[in-house]
Structure 1
Amino acid sequence: MKWTTANLKSPNYTESHEIYVGTSTGTFKRFLPALEDKPFAQRNLYDLNEIDKDDRVTALAFGNDTSEIFIGRAKQNVQMHSLHTDKVEKTINFKFAPIVGFGSFDDYLVAGCSNGQVQRLSLENSSNETEILISSGDDMSHLRQCPTDRNLVATGGKGRQNNLKVFDMAVEGKQVFTSKNLPNDFLQLEVAVWDSDVGFIDSPHILATCSRHGYVRMYDTRKQRRPVQCYATEDLMSFATLVANGNYIYTGTTMGAMKAFDIRRMKTFVHTYKGFTGAISDVTLDSTGKYLASASLDRYVRIHHVDSTVLLYQCYVKSKATRVLIRQSTENTNCVLTAETAEDVEQVESSNKLNIEKQSLCVDKEYEDLFENMQTVREKEDAADSDTETKSGEVTKKNTKAGAKRKSDKQLDKTKKRKSENK
């Protein structure tokens, strides 16, 4: 499919997905691409008047199942949104903000903050009192939970003191692993470290990190502290986010490029996903691992096919998309749109009409009159043809007159000749 900035949906995309997007203006939206009539309709799950525009969404994560979503913001409040009731069931106030990642196990919610503090809260406790378990440094970029062993969380950040660390939250935040930097370079200078995102690769022992300094590394906690495989480039490729599944690592860059790496041979990337015009802020996979959803600062949410790299779905979000989640829909997506969704669609259509009217008002009248009075190419051709016909007609008339004159002269000569013979 060709690159375009318009909303599009491939006819080959038939999956029943629900997409949840958090934006830089604090809005939280839902998309249903499987809707036949309105596949690009977006519904704001919260009243826009109740949202602080400075309270951007900084983290999204499912709870113990996909029926609830935790929403972390630039401020200290965290919301637990229930997908059954379609409203906020609980609001939690943490001691620090912004939140950069969530983890949930048993009845506890774990949140990592940008200042390096990891906090834990009992969801059954009505007092909402949080406890600070550990400090992983002073500048945390992301916190991820292990999908196979939910007691483990990994953190990464900027600087050597904030490198990759793994903690066991069931044992009061015990540190079970910390990474070690690569050896010094040929000038005996320390290699710069910035783990902008971390992730587990289908195992509690194998992890991957990506960096704003242009490297992707893979660690095995059972073998050594240094990375077992590494991809690095001298090109200006700054990785901002990643997600891992099976033998592949999918990364997004700040330059609007998405790459896939094979952990069995990480000398170069194996896939490139196109269609982006802005920095990629978040990537995630669906439950099958076949569809890759991404949020971008160019205000679009996209879905690519993992193997064919084809862009299947693209929709304009109206705000800079910062976080995205995807899940299989449990509803009948062919049902009629709700009233709120219909209102959103009407707002989009009315805004499009206003834009068209504004464009029409901005037209230069003198410039348009110039083009209206200008002779078209067809008219010039017709005029030229008529001139040619006129000229050819005049030539024909002249030739006819000349022929008649010659004929009359011949007859006069014959008459004179007869008269002379008779004499």
Structure 2
Amino acid sequence: MASPARWSHVWVGAETGALKGVNLQRKQATNYTSAGSLSRAQGICALCWGDAAESEVLVGCLDGAVKRFSTEKGKFTETRLCPGGQGPFCGLAVHGSSALITCVESGLLKVWCEDDAENLELQAGAGLCRMRQDPARPQRVATGGRDNGLKVWDLQRPGEPLFRAKNVRNDWLNLHVPIWDRDLQFLPGSDKIVTCTGHHQVRLYDPSSPQRRPVLETTFGEHPLTALSLAPGADSVVVGSARGDLAVIDLRQGRLLRCLKGIAGGVRGLQCHPSRPLVASCGLDRFLRIHRLGDQRPRHKVYLKSRLNCLLLSSRQDWEAPAAPSPAADRDGDEDGDEDAADADADALWAAMEPVPLPAPPGRRPAKRKSPGP
């Protein structure tokens, strides 16, 4: 019998090292990390699927370990240490049937094969913030970071990058424009790559064009953009900021389509559903939220108790199906219906109270009442 973990729509990783599966029909989260092994030294900083069937989740931790979690069994089945470099994982991917791709903040990108003697290493430059794999061509990855511009690498020819982005021209004071790519993603069906920066810019690059500078650039807000995800259709992109802003940007004209409301903390994890107009976000306010791209207010909202670093959506679960059977594990989330009912009861209680007149300020005499005229 399959584990209740198989019914989770979203997986989230927390600073405390907890891996939680969230069932959106039940507004319920289950912690699959034992309480005794929770530690900030093992905080989760990267998640990815271990296979195409989405039966395994790969979990990258701060201590350099990559854990394999089986959604069929509902437990961790393997732990592999991936030493080398410094800083947390800024990217995690699977190459082929067994190879694992890791990338850390110091710039070391490594492909881990079953035979350790054949491991591939390349240096992508210090200050990396993100590494992502091209879904259509798994041998290609892109990297970007602080003072480390966008690069595209072919793991079969790792000597030099296939594409190295060129910085935009100097500003109107003829000063160098700083580089700070925080997140990036490949556009399906083309060579184009979209990035968001710590200087609130969204840029679109086309490696197939002669120019290495962005072919489109726009800005959003005044705070660093921290996460990015392509909407279904790849005509727009959803970006999140360090202040908690969430916006949909049109990639054809570079204009703001709409802002999504309800977030109270910096966004760290962001992912759009591959086929439905839904986007999931999480971050410092400890909530997982699901927005429909056409609506401003969240459709689902689940409190998860810990500050959240990353998330992973299941594309195989039917998000509109009736609620799945209740898992036997302890619940770790709050239901929106209970919160709404409590708010309604509190409003009714305050409305039933009689208003109390405020006392006159000290030093001021009460006004004399005028006597009625004759």
Query: TM over 0.5, yes or no?
Result: yes
| TM-score, normalization by structure 2 | 0.81
1:187 aligns with 2:173: yes
Note the 1:1-40 alignment, pairs <5 A: 18-34=9-25, 39-40=26-27
Contact 2:60 2:89 in 1 (8 A): yes
Could you tell me which of 162, 185, 202 is aligned with 1:199?
Answer: 185
Aligned-partner SS, 1:171 = coil
Could you tell me which of 320, 339, 343 is aligned with 2:328?
Answer: 339
- Residues in 1 aligned to 2:17 and 2:32: alpha-carbon distance in whole angstroms: 11
Counterpart for residue 66 of structure 2: 78
Counterpart for residue 409 of structure 1: none
Note the 1:20-419 alignment, pairs <5 A: 20-34=11-25, 39-65=26-52, 66-96=54-84, 97-106=87-96, 107-122=98-113, 124-125=114-115, 131-159=119-147, 162-172=148-158, 174-223=160-209, 224-232=211-219, 235-245=221-231, 246-266=234-254, 268-327=255-314, 328-329=316-317, 334-341=323-330, 344=332
Number of aligned residue pairs: 327
Instruction: Tell me which stretches of 4 or more aligned residues in structure 1 moved more than 2 Å.
Output: 128-132, 170-174, 307-310, 328-339, 374-377
Contact 1:148 1:204 in 2 (8 A): no
- Residues in 1 aligned to 2:356 and 2:154: alpha-carbon distance in whole angstroms: 78
Given the superposition, is the C-alpha separation of residues 257 and 53 from structure 1 closer, same or farther in structure 2, using an over 3 Å criterion? same
Aligned-partner SS, 1:311 = coil
**Which ranges of structure 2 fall in alignment gaps of 5 or more residues?**
1-6, 339-352, 358-374
Deviation at 1:333, TM superposition (A): 6.6
Given the superposition, is the C-alpha separation of residues 157 and 181 from structure 1 closer, same or farther in structure 2, using an over 3 Å criterion? same
Aligned-partner SS, 1:341 = coil
Q: Which has the larger radius of gyration?
A: 1
Given the superposition, is the C-alpha separation of residues 21 and 213 from structure 1 closer, same or farther in structure 2, using an over 3 Å criterion? same
- Residues in 1 aligned to 2:309 and 2:120: alpha-carbon distance in whole angstroms: 26
Kindly, what percent of the aligned residue pairs are identical?
25
Deviations 1:344-396 (A, max 9, x none): 57xx89xx9xxxxxxxxxxxxxxxxxxx9x9989xxxxxxxxxxxxxxxxxxx
- Residues in 2 aligned to 1:375 and 1:179: alpha-carbon distance in whole angstroms: 65
Deviation at 1:264, TM superposition (A): 0.7
- Residues in 1 aligned to 2:83 and 2:118: alpha-carbon distance in whole angstroms: 7
Aligned-partner SS, 1:188 = coil
- Residues in 1 aligned to 2:118 and 2:277: alpha-carbon distance in whole angstroms: 38
Counterpart for residue 360 of structure 2: none
Deviation at 1:43, TM superposition (A): 0.7
Given the superposition, is the C-alpha separation of residues 220 and 231 from structure 1 closer, same or farther in structure 2, using an over 3 Å criterion? same
- Residues in 2 aligned to 1:323 and 1:186: alpha-carbon distance in whole angstroms: 38
Deviation at 1:338, TM superposition (A): 2.9
- Residues in 1 aligned to 2:189 and 2:284: alpha-carbon distance in whole angstroms: 31
Counterpart for residue 5 of structure 1: none
Deviation at 1:64, TM superposition (A): 3.2
Aligned-partner SS, 1:170 = coil
**Which ranges of structure 1 fall in alignment gaps of 5 or more residues?**
1-15, 353-371, 378-423
Contact 1:133 1:173 in 2 (8 A): no
Counterpart for residue 369 of structure 2: none
Contact 2:91 2:104 in 1 (8 A): yes
Counterpart for residue 366 of structure 2: none
Given the superposition, is the C-alpha separation of residues 271 and 130 from structure 1 closer, same or farther in structure 2, using an over 3 Å criterion? farther
| TM-score, normalization by structure 1 | 0.72
- Residues in 2 aligned to 1:167 and 1:288: alpha-carbon distance in whole angstroms: 28
Contact 1:117 1:132 in 2 (8 A): no
Given the superposition, is the C-alpha separation of residues 67 and 78 from structure 1 closer, same or farther in structure 2, using an over 3 Å criterion? same
Given the superposition, is the C-alpha separation of residues 175 and 339 from structure 1 closer, same or farther in structure 2, using an over 3 Å criterion? same
State the AA in 2 paired with 1:140.
Answer: L
Aligned-partner SS, 2:262 = coil
Structure number having the greater helix percentage: 1
